[in-house]
Every structure is written in C-alpha cells, then in structure tokens.
Amino acid sequence: MSTLLSRIISAAIILILLKQPKQDLYIDSYLSIRPEIETITKILKIGIPTGIENGMFQFGKLVIQSTVSTMGTTAIAAQAMVATLESFACQASIGIGLGMMSVVGKCVGAKEYEQARHYTILLTKYAWIACIICCAMIMFPIQQITSLAGMETESAKLAIWLTRIVFTYKMIFWTPSFLPGYGLRAAGDVKFSMITSTLSMWICRVVVTIFLVHTFHMGPLAVWIGMGADWTIRSFIFLARFKSNKWLEHKVI
C-alpha cells in the first residue's frame, strides 16, 4: 500500500507539473491529446526491444534467485545482502546513463556524430568514477553495514568476503558493460543491444551459475562468477561496437 501510494502521489505531481506554461514543453489539456500512430510506431521500435531486454534480464534474475534459494539460509542471507548493496552501488552510474540517452539522442538527431561519440565517452568516464566512489563507500565499511543489518555471524562473514571480491571486479568491468549500451540505444541501435545483453545474460549469468552451483557446489560465489563473466564479455562487445561506428548508421527519425 505504501508503494502504491507513493506512485500515485508521484504521478499526480508529474501531471500537475506538465501543465505549467512556464516550461518550454507543457500540455494545455489532457483531454485534447490524440494518438499519432506514426510517432508511436517510431517509439515502439526502440521501446519494444528495450522492453524485451529488460524483461529477459529480470526473468534471468528470477532463475538465479530460485537457484540461490536451494543453498541454505546462510548463503541466502549473504547473497541477498550483497545483491542489494551491488544494486545500490550502481544507481549513480545508471542515472548518468539515462542522462546520456537524452544527450546522445539529441546529437544523433542533429547529425552531430562526433559530438555523440564525445559525450558517450565523457559520460562513461563520469559513470566509471561514480561507480568506483560508490563501491569504495560500501566496500570499506562493509563490516559496519552487516552489523547494522543484524546479520548472523556466518552470513555476515560470507557477505563481507563476497562484497570485497564482487566490488573490486565491479569497479573495473561494470561501467563498460552497461554505459556504452545507453549510447547505442539512444542512436537507435537497440536490436544489437537487446541481442547482446540477452545472450550474455543467459549464457554467462544463468547457465554458468547453474553449472557451477550443481557441478562444483560453489554456492553464492557461482552467482557472482557468472555475473562477472557477463560484465566482461559484454564490455568487450559493446566497446567493439562503439569503436566500429556501426551504431551511428541507424536512424530513429
């Protein structure tokens, strides 16, 4: 109920702000809005592949979570803590990536392709710095964080060990595995991003994780080995695609 209430309040505030004439872009009347099929079709060409990519990503996470649920309470608690912290550590970088989509989209729309390349590289660097800072802010006081969370001793030890391993690797490979993808999508290269992300997700995160768990009984470490492999492979693929300039050959409008 609290989540639903917060969404309702947010939606009401946004609808009110969208009607303010002082803004460069505003809506006179919601009742006068009519669908423009051509524009909607262009949006869906980007939205559908991106939606499929996100949907497959979430489904893959569900499969991994079901595998983790068979490992016992200590591993489940540790994995939940590390996953929450890992997700929190990349929020600033994701925010920069969302901003990158607007900036690069405008550059490509104006046919300023060098500017698109420039801002993709620049914002990726900023996101990298943000990721390193956020990871460090969590990794160094991790003992205090697990203590505040009231974790059992064994779960806390496992969570601390995993956090130090995962975050060290995350500082290097997470940013190039995600941020260039925002630039590619902004330029209309959504199918390549969807195929790459989906395949790397299922092959590395899901298949590798399940294999390591059931064959070598590696516990929650297997999840992060699979995720690290996903980050690494995706980084090289996205960087190669960015360097080739093929992502600039697509036209959204």
The neighbour count for residue 68, using CB atoms within 10 Å, is 21
* pLDDT reported for residue 252: 67
* pLDDT reported for residue 247: 92
The neighbour count for residue 25, using CB atoms within 10 Å, is 5
| Chain segment 115-161, per-residue pLDDT in tens | 999 999 999 999 999 999 999 999 999 999 999 999 999 999 999 99
Distance CA 38, CA 196 (A): 28
Report the mean per-residue pLDDT for the chain. 93
Distance CA 31, CA 180 (A): 39
| Chain segment 195-241, per-residue pLDDT in tens | 998 999 999 989 999 999 999 989 999 999 999 999 999 999 999 99
* pLDDT reported for residue 253: 63
